[in-house]
Amino acid sequence: MDSTGKETHIYLNPIKTDRADDWESFTRSVIMPVVASQRPEFLDRVRLLRADGQEDGATLFAFLFEGGDIDEYDLEPLFAAEYGEQEGRQRLQEWHDMFARDQYGWTFHDVSLRD
């Protein structure tokens, strides 16, 4: 494998279609302000994509995390630091309740397309 060593973590989020707009709004208005407060360096390293279609009653969103270890992007410690453990867990649960299925993903490495 000829890779450049740069890692991108891509995680798919199957969200209940009837809650997709709510999930997107919650991500913008609740999740990202916590990230900005606790780990502002992540703001330029995270992207969110929304699929045009649906699959099995779910709308897919994809987080792209540029670099670092995937564990660094865990939201639980950030929410605990921002709100305390119990309230942080409750706020994250609101977000998780909109999932149709568990989040899943992989770590990818850039591959050169040139010889």
For residue 17, what pLDDT is reported? 97
DSSP label at residue 94: H
Calculate mean pLDDT across residues 72-86: 96
| Sheet containing 104-111, strands listed edge to edge, beginning at the edge strand earlier in sequence | 46-55, 58-66, 3-16, 104-111
Q: Decide if pLDDT at 1 tops 70.
A: no
Q: How do residues 17-72 score in pLDDT, each as one tens digit?
A: 999 999 999 999 999 999 999 999 999 999 999 999 898 999 999 999 999 889 99
Quickly state the pLDDT bin for 4 (edges 50, 70, 90). low
Candidate CATH numbers 3.30.70.100, 3.40.50.620, 3.40.50.300, 3.20.20.80; the one for domain 7-109: 3.30.70.100
Longest dimension (CA), the chain: 53
Residues 42 and 35 sit within 8 Å (Cβ to Cβ) = yes
Calculate mean pLDDT across residues 73-78: 95
User: Which of helix, strand or coil describes residue 96?
Assistant: helix
Alpha carbon of residue 115 to chain centroid: 34
Quickly state the pLDDT bin for 5 (edges 50, 70, 90). low
Residues 102 and 23 sit within 8 Å (Cβ to Cβ) = no
User: For the chain, what are the domain ranges?
Assistant: 7-109
DSSP label at residue 29: I
